Amino acid sequence: DSGVTQTPKHLITATGQRVTLRCSPRSGDLSVYWYQQSLDQGLQFLIQYYNGEERAKGNILERFSAQQFPDLHSELNLSSLELGDSALYFCASTLSGASTDTQYFGPGTRLTVL
């Protein structure tokens, strides 16, 4: 158990819909990362937050957005969903986001878009 929690574990929805994925980092960790894992794209970095502020953006679509709240949990919002958005979405947390840090991954949310 990494100490990072993600809810829900599974999510099935239809095209055009909007969903919210939630992540609670390890106790004491200030930085949160979001990743998308799919068969064709592999593991792709989406976005990083540190203590409530966005720090880095990766291959995140404009239809996707995220935020980190004062209690440090984070939410990833996916809207106007397409079939190709079906994937595993992982959250990871680190103490400070420093380049030497170890990222601790949650168990993931499996999103299926029908």
Partner 1 sequence: AQSVTQLDSQVPVFEEAPVELRCNYSSSVSVYLFWYVQYPNQGLQLLLKYLSGSTLVKGINGFEAEFNKSQTSFHLRKPSVHISDTAEYFCAVSGNTGFQKLVFGTGTRLLVSP
Q: How many CB atoms lie within 10 A of CB 1?
A: 6
| Ranges within 23-52 binding partner 1 (CB under 8 A) | 31, 33, 42-43, 45, 48, 50
From 56, 77, 80, 82, residue interacting with partner 1 (rule: CB under 8 A): 56
Spacing of C-alpha 11 from chain mean position = 14
Q: Cβ of residue 84: shortest distance to partner 1, in angstroms?
A: 18
Among candidate residues 108, 92, 102, the one with its CA nearest the CA of residue 33: 92
If one asks whether residue 113 binds partner 1 (CB under 8 A), the answer comes out as no
Pick between residue 45 and residue 79 the one whose CB is nearest to partner 1.
45
The rounded distance, in Å, linking the Cα atoms of 40 and 63 is 20
Q: Cβ of residue 110: shortest distance to partner 1, in angstroms?
A: 9
For 28-52, give one letter per residue: b (16+ CB within 10 A) or e. ebbbbbbbbeeeeeeeeebbbbbee
* Footprint of partner 1 (CB under 8 A): 2, 4, 31, 33, 42-43, 45, 48, 50, 55-56, 58, 90, 92, 94, 97-108
